[in-house]
């Protein structure tokens, strides 16, 4: 019974274009799926669109087998400290909210969180934060409710990254009799960003190779970069399982879902 991990569906943009990337998954796979894990960037404007998109996904499989957690886009026109509201939206549709969540499917332990980044890729944290704040929509469209609804800053997402990383490290250090699979939205490896020299690359990935090497989970699946890269660190297979925007797809339908399809026997 397989588990499908998919990041960056951006389903609102696809449906606006009259297209549905989920139609590329065969009916046979939908029938056999034990679980669908949505690893961030389901939509912008989640308070309006998460219910609509989750109901759309519910046409393919029962939502009690769907685990969803936010990427950066799922905070747009929302707040960085608004996970409680996202959890309510998911649960109201019958789906599981998987932010900082651990669950077991057939002897496989899944550890899920958004992750964000530490802005330290390339060694210039302050400059990377300046670039990200100037160029990325994350710091225009995401606000912080606990501080007067001001715009989020890179130091805010860096703080969430530290929190998520600490949670992940704690969970990874707990013994588990089976395989562990980490699922994040942001990228954990410096070689898996498409343009590492770009000044905003540190907003896409952190270098977590030491953590991966220490705990060696069986796999680490992620998205955010919309670039189908993969790597191996020790015994850990890292794979990007992004779908991406409709105008980026360009004949990649075969790749979209194969990288995130895990078959357990
Ligand atoms: Fe995305
Ligand atoms: Fe993203």
Concatenated DSSP letters for 182-194?
A: EEESSB--GGGSS
Cα 72 to ligand 2 centre (Å) = 5
Hey, what are 67's tokens? 């685990």
Which ligand is located closest to the Cα atom of residue 187? 2
Measured between alpha carbons, how far is residue 90 from residues 173, 186, 242 in Å?
Answer: 29, 21, 21
Cα gap 257→263, rounded to integer Å = 12
Residues 87 and 66: beta-carbon distance below 8 Å: no
Cα 28 to ligand 2 centre (Å) = 29
State the chain's maximal CA–CA distance in angstroms: 50
Which ligand is located closest to the Cα atom of residue 9? 1
Which ligand is located closest to the Cα atom of residue 114? 2
The pLDDT, as a whole number, for residue 43 is: 98
Residue whose token pair is 């139609």: 23
45-70 burial code (b ≥16 CB/10 A, e <16): ebeebbeebbebbeebbebebbbbbb
Residues with CB under 5 A from ligand 2 (ion): 41, 71-72, 224
Cα 146 to ligand 2 centre (Å) = 23
Cα 77 to ligand 2 centre (Å) = 15
Cα 176 to ligand 1 centre (Å) = 31
Ranges under pLDDT 70 in the chain: 249-256, 264-265
- Domain definitions of the chain by residue range: 2-263
Which ligand is located closest to the Cα atom of residue 76? 2
The pLDDT, as a whole number, for residue 176 is: 96
Which ligand is located closest to the Cα atom of residue 43? 1
The pLDDT, as a whole number, for residue 247 is: 86
Cα 55 to ligand 2 centre (Å) = 22
196-231 burial code (b ≥16 CB/10 A, e <16): eeebbbbbbbbbbbebbeebebebbbbbbbbbbbeb
Cα gap 141→25, rounded to integer Å = 32
Cα 102 to ligand 1 centre (Å) = 23
Residue whose token pair is 């949670």: 167
> Positive or negative, the Cα torsion across 186, 192, 194, 199?
positive
Query: Residue 79 phi/psi, 5° resolution?
Result: -125, 145
The pLDDT, as a whole number, for residue 257 is: 74
Cα 207 to ligand 2 centre (Å) = 17
Which of helix, strand or coil describes residue 221? strand
The pLDDT, as a whole number, for residue 261 is: 80
User: First and final CA of the chain: distance in angstroms?
Assistant: 7
Q: Which residues contact 133 (CB under 8 A, 6 or more apart)?
A: 139, 153, 154
What kind of fold does domain 2-263 have according to CATH? Purple Acid Phosphatase; chain A, domain 2 (3.60.21)
Which ligand is located closest to the Cα atom of residue 137? 2
């Amino acid at each position: 019974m397989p588990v499908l991990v998919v990041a960056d569906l951006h389903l609102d943009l696809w449906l606006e274009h009259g297209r549905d990337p989920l139609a590329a998954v065969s009916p046979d796979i939908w029938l056999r799926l034990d679980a669908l894990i949505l690893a961030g960037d389901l939509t912008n404007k989640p308070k309006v669109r998460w219910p609509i998109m989750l109901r759309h996904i519910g046409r393919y499989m029962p939502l009690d087998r769907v685990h969803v957690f936010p990427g950066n886009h799922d905070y747009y026109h929302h707040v960085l400290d608004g996970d409680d509201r996202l959890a309510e939206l998911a649960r109201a549709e019958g789906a599981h909210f998987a932010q900082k969540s651990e669950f077991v499917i057939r002897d496989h332990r899944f550890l899920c969180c958004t992750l964000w980044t530490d802005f330290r890729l390339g060694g210039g944290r302050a400059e990377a934060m300046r670039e990200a704040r100037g160029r990325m929509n994350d710091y225009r469209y995401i606000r912080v409710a606990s501080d007067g609804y001001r715009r989020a800053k890179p130091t805010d997402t860096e703080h969430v990254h530290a929190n998520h990383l600490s949670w992940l490290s704690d969970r990874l250090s707990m013994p588990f009799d089976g395989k562990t699979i980490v699922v994040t939205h942001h990228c954990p490896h410096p070689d898996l960003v498409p343009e590492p020299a770009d000044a905003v690359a540190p907003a896409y990935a952190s270098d977590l190779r030491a953590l991966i090497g220490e705990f060696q989970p069986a796999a680490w699946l992620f998205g955010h970069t919309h670039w189908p890269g993969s790597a191996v660190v020790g015994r850990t297979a890292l794979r990007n399982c992004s779908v991406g925007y409709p105008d980026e797809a360009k004949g990649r339908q075969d790749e979209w879902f194969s990288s995130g399809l895990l078959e357990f026997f």
